[in-house]
Amino acid sequence: MNVQGRHYRTIWVEGEGAQAVLRIIDQTVLPHEFRIIDLHSVAEVCRAIREMWVRGAGLIGATAAYGVWLAAREAEHLSAEEFRVRMAMSMEALRVTRPTASNLVWALKRQQSALEGLHGAAATAAAFAEAQTIADEDAEFCRRIGEHGKGIIEAIAAKKPGQPVNILTHCNAGWLAFVDHGSALSPIYAAFDAGIPVHVWVDETRPRNQGASLTAWELGQHGVPHSLIADNTGGHLMQHGMVDMVITGADRVTRCGDAANKIGTYLKALAAADNGVPFYIALPSSTFDFALRDGVREIPIEERSADEVRVMTGALQDEEGTTEQGATSAEAPRTASVLICPESTPARNWAFDVTPARLISGLITERGVCPASEEGVLGLYPEQK
Ligand code: MRU
């Protein structure tokens, strides 16, 4: 994807051998600053995932895969047995950074197989190659999701000539959440690039505001028409015929089609069902957890710090509503955090909820679109029967 005319992936490697560094875009400072961070060790990678410098199912998986490469490089000098023990510890440290997205464990399993029986420089080389393959696959699968989802948008556009297709999305499942293209936003980019008129309703997505700070930013970079709305607005828009479809991403989807996604997605799905608005989930196969059937009972839901609910961060504005710039024009705007409740108010912060398959019109995957049911999913992925 392009940022100010230059192509970026969300994660990449620069340099060679022992000097090579892993680069990421710090998503905690967007949209006010575009900052690139270098990661040198598996400990730094764990921190980047846990503290959400990187986030989104696909990107979490790719980052963990590169984390295994850095862990192997750090342990290159160890004997075969010491290497095996150290790598098991590093993989466990990566695994526990965030519990909900399937892609994390999926990427670690891929790396485990790639490293089977290896240690020393051969292991580092194998882990690097596998991380690159995982990143390339993620980008390519998201591109294909865009192609498959574009057909659905095109069909709606054909029924309302001359008017934009209004699509509601929740959280950020764009290129920032993957290595490139995104899942939920990929069909929107593909439709927009093909000249189909689209307009996106962007849920702000409390408490971390991924919609306001990330989705609005990346849609703006691509020139896609969009409007930011408060999280509770979607139902009202649907009642008034102002939403043609909903597309969200997912962090984990069971073999029966139940989908965990950012907290609040379930309420949008209920409103969509009540108003006859098609509700799609877009995901690459790395987000399926084929071992699970019942998402509400079985998908682990991350609970994060209460302060993410109690405190909000943003750019400072003066009394006229103008954003306060940094000391020089090249510097990012000044930001600040503010407490939005009484000092002593306790809060709870579940990061995800599960939308049952019965509320989902279809799953948009890299292999095509299928019904959200075991039959539908296994029709596309027969090897998982
Ligand atoms: O907590 P995050 O920001 O890592 O949340 C994950 C998400 O970005 C969303 O739930 C998204 O819709 C699915 S991940 C592509």
Q: What is the pLDDT along the chain (385 residues), one digit of tens a residue?
A: 889 889 999 999 999 988 999 999 999 999 999 999 999 999 999 999 999 999 999 999 999 999 999 999 999 999 999 999 999 999 999 999 999 999 999 999 999 999 999 999 999 999 999 999 999 999 999 999 999 999 999 999 999 999 999 999 999 999 999 999 999 999 999 999 999 999 999 999 999 999 999 999 999 999 999 999 999 999 999 999 999 999 999 999 999 999 999 999 999 999 999 999 999 999 999 999 999 999 999 999 999 999 999 999 999 998 888 888 766 656 788 999 999 999 999 999 999 999 999 999 999 999 999 999 999 999 999 999 9
Q: Where are the alpha helices (DSSP H) in 214-357?
A: 216-222, 234-239, 265-274, 295-298, 307-310
Distance from chain centroid for Cα 51: 14
Determine the pLDDT at residue 172. Answer: 98
pTM value? 0.97
Contact criterion met (CB below 8 Å) for 352 and 302: yes
User: Which one is catalytic: 251, 258, 289, 353?
Assistant: 251
Determine the pLDDT at residue 332. Answer: 85
Q: What angle do CA 369, 297, 168 make, to 5 degrees?
A: 40
Distance CA 231, CA 206 (A): 7
Determine the pLDDT at residue 327. Answer: 63
Q: Is the CB of 260 under 6 A from ligand 1?
A: no
What tokens were used for 331?
A: 């510097």
Determine the pLDDT at residue 33. Answer: 95
Sign of CA dihedral 243, 245, 248, 254: positive
Distance CA 357, CA 372 (A): 5
Residue type, 286: S
Contact criterion met (CB below 8 Å) for 262 and 352: yes
Give the chain's domains with CATH numbers.
2-138 (1.20.120.420), 146-292+354-384 (3.40.50.10470), 307-339 (no CATH)
Residue nearest to atom 10 of ligand 1 (CA): 262
Contact criterion met (CB below 8 Å) for 78 and 38: no
Bond prior to 207 in cis (omega within 30° of 0): yes
What tokens were used for 237?
A: 């828009």
Distance CA 89, CA 85 (A): 6
Tokens 């992936």 sit at which residue?
9
Within the chain, strands assigned E span 2-3, 6-7, 11-14, 21-25, 36-39, 165-169, 198-203, 226-229, 245-248, 252-254, 259-262, 279-282, 288-289, 311-315, 335-339, 352-355, 362-365, 368-370
Residue nearest to atom 6 of ligand 1 (CA): 56
Q: Is the CB of 259 under 6 A from ligand 1?
A: no
193 is catalytic: no
Q: Is the CB of 203 under 6 A from ligand 1?
A: no
Contact criterion met (CB below 8 Å) for 186 and 149: yes
Determine the pLDDT at residue 324. Answer: 80
Residue 41 main-chain phi, psi, to 5 deg = -140, 165
Q: Is the CB of 285 under 6 A from ligand 1?
A: no
What tokens were used for 314?
A: 């943003």
Contact criterion met (CB below 8 Å) for 268 and 246: yes
